[in-house]
Structure 1
Amino acid sequence: MSTADNADNTSSKKPVKLQAVKGMNDVLPVAGIHWENLEMLLREWLSAYGYRLIKTPVLENTALFRRGIGEVTDIVEKEMFSFVDRLNGDELTLRPEFTAGIARATIEHNLTYAAPQRVYSMGPVFRHERPQRGRYRQFHQLDVEALGFSGPDIDAELIVMLSRLWREMGLDDVRLEINCLGEASERLAHRQALIAYFEANADQLDEDAKRRLHSNPLRILDTKNPAMQELANKAPRLSEFLGDESRAHYEGVKSLLNDAGIQYIENPRLVRGLDYYNLTVFEWITDRLGAQGTICGGGRYDGLIEVLGGKPTPAIGFAIGLERLLELYLEVNQPDDMPDLDIYVVHQGEGTARRAFSLAEELRDAGFAVVLHAGGGSFKSQMKKADVSGASMALILGENELANGTVMAKLLREESSQHELKQDELADAVFQLLYGEGEED
């Protein structure tokens, strides 16, 4: 077979249809409007409490998550997207969460040297787990961290501000669970008691519990296996091992929550499996999402920055999965899916396109959101596009209007006649038609 024949065969093959990687989804324009609205609400809410944006890389050294999350956690053992950079041999990982990266940035840039910091980040994170409702392999989180604060007041502030968020979103069925993990020495004594207890009842442990028994026994308390619930309920409780300072911190948090009228459930089985977590932990839970009902989890992690090589720094934070939050937001609010667009410019005829282009720019200079029709078509077809665009007004420019120095305006969301407007007074006239008054000086 000749080279030409090979080329013909290659060119005649139908290209393979490419699709998104499993568990990684596209956000299309209509959904994008909802994402923008939710993110705007979140940014305004965070700003009201003095939290400022921090952005860290999507890629970090794998060692950061091994040290920051822990070798024996499911995230590190099973779920991280890790690879070796073929150019220099570095072991890299797509971030599975934000906290470790923010802690790394805090150390690298000495963020808390002059003052404590309230920061947040928002964006994609990656975990190689089984896709399910509201949980994907690339998903999005809001992460909020208070760095350098040691008292119970900041713990309570984070919880109170979340309560405000649920109210602003119209979520009235979200419940709060809290617990105190104490300090390292208290958890060590509790850990030893747990191991002894579970070893004495080894015949009742499932395979997952047996695997965790000596590496992460706290996680056994959080088992979802119905056959182990009674065993977990009767296990030694951390509260029995707390010292005076830990108790005082926890009581301080609860007192502030009581003052703010925040209802909560004390859940002694609410734990974190990593040694650097301490004192306050909390979760917000809803029944709207089925069995996977936690929409926000947080806690104090005073030991993390030191574990990563920094100076001892108190810290507390929380994370919210945005896909699940958006699902709840849309279920309760049912917001409009039309873009916030003021004007759609319709034009036809030789010579009108250039003038329509310049008029659209003048209107944008005046603060209006404007779409200029592109691609030709009759007035009728363009007006159909104007109507479905979500714009409040269509401005029509034909050859007659071009010659007369005018534009025809039609309010698309009202039953009204057309209005002839002068091109040299267009911005003021449009403002008056849309809002019923002239611009203020």
Structure 2
Amino acid sequence: MLTTRPRGTNDFLPGETEKWQYVENVLRTICKDFGYQEIRTPIFEHTELFQRGVGETTDIVEKEMYTFTDKKNRSLTLRPESTASTVRAYLEHKLYALPQPVKLYYIGPMFRYEKPQAGRFRQFHQFGVEVFGSSDPGLDAEVIGLAMGIYHRLGLRGLEVHMNSVGCPQCRPKHKEMLQEFLKKDFASLCPDCRGRYERNPLRILDCKNEKCQEITAYAPTILNCLCPECREHFDKVKHYMEISGIKYLIDERLVRGLDYYTKTAFEILVNEIGAQSAICGGGRYDGLIDSLGGPPIPGVGFALGMERIFPALESQGISLALESPLDVFVVTLGDEAGKKGFQILMDLRMEGIKAEKDYLGRGLKAQMKTADRMKAKYAVIIGENELDRGIGIIRNMETSAQQEMPLDQAVDWIKRQY
């Protein structure tokens, strides 16, 4: 067991990590373009933060959290998501005193104890954005546009934006009453989880993946029929901003998301090529979350996307990321004294920001050149004892096989000019 990773986790090896770095760079670049700044929060938080923030009727809180007690008997939880943590940091550090809205993003690992399957893991990675301090419906469309911009820059096609409004505390009671009345006759046929949600939060029953529950709720009354004037106006404006931005969308009246804190806008982005886990991004507005965690009544909106779901989607569409060459120069040396000079050139190259490597196994010329080729080096600098005596090296273009002699004290500057 010591040589086997825990179930539901992954090792990302060289060759894969470069792809992650590429995507992360795209994420950071687009956030900079949209005016978002990075926030980094702890891997674990006080358990109550997620109980109050995520919602006690959610699957996350009821079934999936990794919770433990520390040496002072305090209950702590590995973060299952980052919105609650970001809100906590916003309040603790009084970011509401800054010019609003405050626009933040995060990238990091999350933890949920659930059945591992394609695109779903117990340790997974999320990128997300959160905007605090404005109820403007234009921000709802902006965060959706940011998410779509990420996928556009990565080259993904065939994406669908599904949107809904889940109302607010003013209009939800009416829908709750209608939904409970509709479900009453089939209450006994609901799954145990949904019977527990019937009184506390029947809206969550619409999100159940149980086939029988989906069949029962197929014609259930939807929240769109119950929206108060404010929520209806807000949703109409969000749709208008989406149309202005040229982003096509579908209205999905069953879309409620899996977290209790959403109000008004909820959305998901789907791609069909990755199977059952077709939702690769989801989010919405949560105007009551900050005050539910002890802060002032400040509105918020955001989304999170699963990093692990990006790569199967790219692969299914045959998209290759334009990764940088892993190596610029391989220094080939033959003999101890040549090895010392080669090491000096190696370090000088690296100090100039040039990716360089050399042989440390004492192999011959042919084996070293094969290694340089396998590592996709653009150039090889070859130094043998004969070249060292003459104070020159041979620079070989690995793509064209062209070679030229170069004074060793000029080799670094010449290579630097090639980049």
TM-score, with length taken from structure 1: 0.90
Q: Sequence identity of aligned pairs in percent?
A: 41
Quote the residue 2:365 is aligned against: 379
Quote the residue 1:408 is aligned against: 394
The partner residue of 1:243 within 228, 231, 234 is: 228
- Any conservation in 2 of the 1:178–1:270 contact (CA below 8 Å)? yes
- Any conservation in 1 of the 2:45–2:85 contact (CA below 8 Å)? yes
- Any conservation in 1 of the 2:171–2:227 contact (CA below 8 Å)? yes
Quote the residue 1:11 is aligned against: none
Q: Does the alignment pair 1:201 with 2:186?
A: yes
The partner residue of 2:287 within 298, 302, 320 is: 302
Taking the aligned partners of 1:176 and 1:36, their CA distance within structure 2 comes to: 26
Taking the aligned partners of 1:84 and 1:120, their CA distance within structure 2 comes to: 29
Quote the residue 2:58 is aligned against: 73
Q: Aligned letter for 1:383? A: M
The CA deviation string for residues 96-145 of structure 1, in whole angstroms up to 9 with x for no partner, is 11111101101100112122211111011111111101111111110111
Mapping 1:94-105, distance limit 5 Å:
94-105=78-89
The count of aligned residue pairs is 417
The partner residue of 1:93 within 46, 67, 77 is: 77
Quote the residue 1:353 is aligned against: 339
Taking the aligned partners of 1:386 and 1:232, their CA distance within structure 2 comes to: 62
Quote the residue 2:3 is aligned against: 18
- Any conservation in 2 of the 1:30–1:337 contact (CA below 8 Å)? no
Taking the aligned partners of 1:183 and 1:29, their CA distance within structure 2 comes to: 47
Quote the residue 2:320 is aligned against: 334
SS at match of 1:30: coil
The partner residue of 2:251 within 259, 266, 274 is: 266
Taking the aligned partners of 2:80 and 2:185, their CA distance within structure 1 comes to: 36
- Any conservation in 1 of the 2:352–2:416 contact (CA below 8 Å)? no
Mapping 1:135-174, distance limit 5 Å:
135-174=120-159
Structure 2, unaligned stretches of length 5 or more? none
CA RMSD between the two structures: 1.8
Q: Give the direction of change, closer, same or farther, for the CA distance of 1:272–1:324 in structure 2 (3 Å limit).
A: closer
Quote the residue 2:204 is aligned against: 219
Taking the aligned partners of 2:258 and 2:152, their CA distance within structure 1 comes to: 31
SS at match of 1:157: helix
The CA deviation string for residues 248-273 of structure 1, in whole angstroms up to 9 with x for no partner, is 11111111111122111111111145
- The alpha-carbon deviation at position 43 of structure 1 amounts to 1.3
- The alpha-carbon deviation at position 223 of structure 1 amounts to 3.1
- The alpha-carbon deviation at position 75 of structure 1 amounts to 0.8
Taking the aligned partners of 2:127 and 2:22, their CA distance within structure 1 comes to: 14
Taking the aligned partners of 1:192 and 1:274, their CA distance within structure 2 comes to: 20
- Any conservation in 2 of the 1:117–1:148 contact (CA below 8 Å)? yes
- The alpha-carbon deviation at position 301 of structure 1 amounts to 0.6
Mapping 1:37-56, distance limit 5 Å:
37-56=22-41
- The structure that has the greater radius of gyration is 1
- Any conservation in 1 of the 2:41–2:85 contact (CA below 8 Å)? yes
The CA deviation string for residues 373-404 of structure 1, in whole angstroms up to 9 with x for no partner, is 22321122111111111211111122122222
Mapping 1:399-438, distance limit 5 Å:
399-414=385-400, 416-431=401-416, 434=418
The CA deviation string for residues 18-61 of structure 1, in whole angstroms up to 9 with x for no partner, is 31111111101111111111111111122111111100010111
The partner residue of 1:368 within 350, 354, 376 is: 354
Taking the aligned partners of 2:92 and 2:249, their CA distance within structure 1 comes to: 37
Quote the residue 2:271 is aligned against: 286
Quote the residue 1:33 is aligned against: 18
Taking the aligned partners of 2:370 and 2:127, their CA distance within structure 1 comes to: 39
Taking the aligned partners of 2:328 and 2:259, their CA distance within structure 1 comes to: 52
Structure 1, unaligned stretches of length 5 or more? 1-15, 436-441
Quote the residue 1:438 is aligned against: none
Quote the residue 1:190 is aligned against: 175
- Any conservation in 1 of the 2:54–2:260 contact (CA below 8 Å)? no
SS at match of 2:3: coil
TM-score, with length taken from structure 2: 0.94
- Any conservation in 2 of the 1:51–1:118 contact (CA below 8 Å)? yes
